[in-house]
Structure 1
Amino acid sequence: MVIEVTDHDRPVAHLVPIEPKTRLVIREAIRPFSEIAHRRYKPLNLPISSTDLLRQDRDIR
């Protein structure tokens, strides 16, 4: 069984079951999230706004 995930009627992901032979490895975090949760990063200095980038991306689809 495959589940299709959509956003505004557009497919964004397919969820498929793992095959029994596949080895799933779950790695524990090295550090707790609380150690990095406070970090702040400088905004990107792009020649175009993020809104315009998003609009361009959506126009392509």
Structure 2
Amino acid sequence: PQEEKKFALTLRDQIQALLEPPQVESVREMIAKWEPKRKRPSVARGPAKDEPGDQAGTR
């Protein structure tokens, strides 16, 4: 929404005012290189040994 964008830009400007130009550039470089972490595929697990449905001791 427009209101959130305005707030975000104001916050960005306040942060940049506190940083030296080389720090601002460093942050911009990190943002440009950032990629979301890859999620590991979930592994299907059976119930834990102490949970109901455990087959231990049935042999």
TM-score using structure 1 length: 0.25
Report the structure number with the largest CA radius of gyration: 2
Between Structure 1 and Structure 2, the one with more strand by share is 1
> Which protein is richer in helix relative to its size?
2
